Amino acid sequence: MSYTGPDLEPPQPRRSPLRRPLTVALAVLVPGALLGWGVYAATGGGGGTGAAPAAPASTAAASPAADRDDAKESGAGRPLAGKVVLVDPGHNPENYRHTTEINRQVDIGTHRKECDTTGTATDDGYAEAAFTLDVARRLRTLLQEQGATVRLTQDGDRPYGPCVDERARIGNEAKADAAISIHADGAGAGQRGFHVILPGPVHAGAADTRPIVASSRALGERVADRFAGVTGSAPADYLGDGTGLVTRTDLGGLNLSTVPKVFLECGNMRDSKDAALLTSGAWRQKAAQGISEGIVSFLRG
């Protein structure tokens, strides 16, 4: 935008010899245009009030295609523009109030198991479900800043669950480019560290992980590397042979997934030193940052 200072006057336009004929022509045309607009509005062409037509209301549940379109528009120019990430906060803070519902058996392909569990807690009573939801929300913010569309399986908005089979289905229906389930372990005191759980090859019933085993491992390796780098935590010293990577075939959230997915056990809530980290808001922010960097690294290739 140009600016005219206080001691300067803008240049005056030269008068055109055609100015008078143009003025007369406009004097003739404008009343006719105004009359035409009045007829248009009176017959409903202007929406009845002369206001611009209202935009259509959004649907309650966006489709996967809509998720991707939103991601492309809102994240243009950012590394995860057009990507969809499924974040699954393990358990639910209200599960303990609904023991009948969460004990219901569901099919995970290889066998049947409980819909969900209450999860573990620190010795001081800080629940795993509260931890996972907090980290998930922090992670969502970080991923959205990178341009991703983020879907949570629950956001403290459900009375319990969802069940493990539904958690997988939410990621599948979203056609997520990456999915991660956030947890904290309940191992014995003195056992420390994080580990990432990878899906093993399963082909039974509704479960077929064969197409996602390799991509899930790649995701898990990136997450483990960046989680360790950002948080300073070491891989678990009680399983995984010091790699921080464990393969399992008994988890419904992995068995039923058709998109690259891993579980992350961020630490051991039953160990006092790990618990001190897990209960720290500053450390949880580091955890979210490490997970985010791992996902970004995986999705950028």
231-288: pLDDT as tens digits:
999 999 999 999 999 999 999 999 999 999 999 999 999 999 999 999 999 999 999 9
- Ranges of residues in the chain whose predicted pLDDT is under 70: 1-76
* H/E run at residue 26: helix 19-42
Confirm whether 265 is a catalytic residue.
yes
Share of residues in the chain with pLDDT > 90 (%): 74
How is the chain split into domains, by residue range? 19-50, 64-300
Nearest to 236 by CA among 184, 182, 170: 184
Q: How far is CA 138 from CA 93, 197, 265, in A?
A: 17, 21, 16
pTM of the model: 0.76
- Say what the pLDDT of residue 262 is: 99
Q: Which CATH number, 3.90.1150.110, 2.60.40.10, 2.60.120.200, 3.40.630.40, labels domain 64-300?
A: 3.40.630.40
- Say what the pLDDT of residue 252 is: 98
- Say what the pLDDT of residue 69 is: 53
- Say what the pLDDT of residue 77 is: 73
User: What angle do helix axes 281-300 and 213-231 make, rounded to 10 degrees?
Assistant: 140
- Say what the pLDDT of residue 65 is: 54
Nearest to 104 by CA among 73, 112, 96, 127: 112
pLDDT digits (tens, 9 = 90+) for 39-67: 333 333 433 333 333 333 333 344 555 55
Catalytic, out of 101, 128, 166, 265: 265
- Say what the pLDDT of residue 70 is: 52
- Say what the pLDDT of residue 112 is: 98
- Secondary structure (3-state) at 250: coil
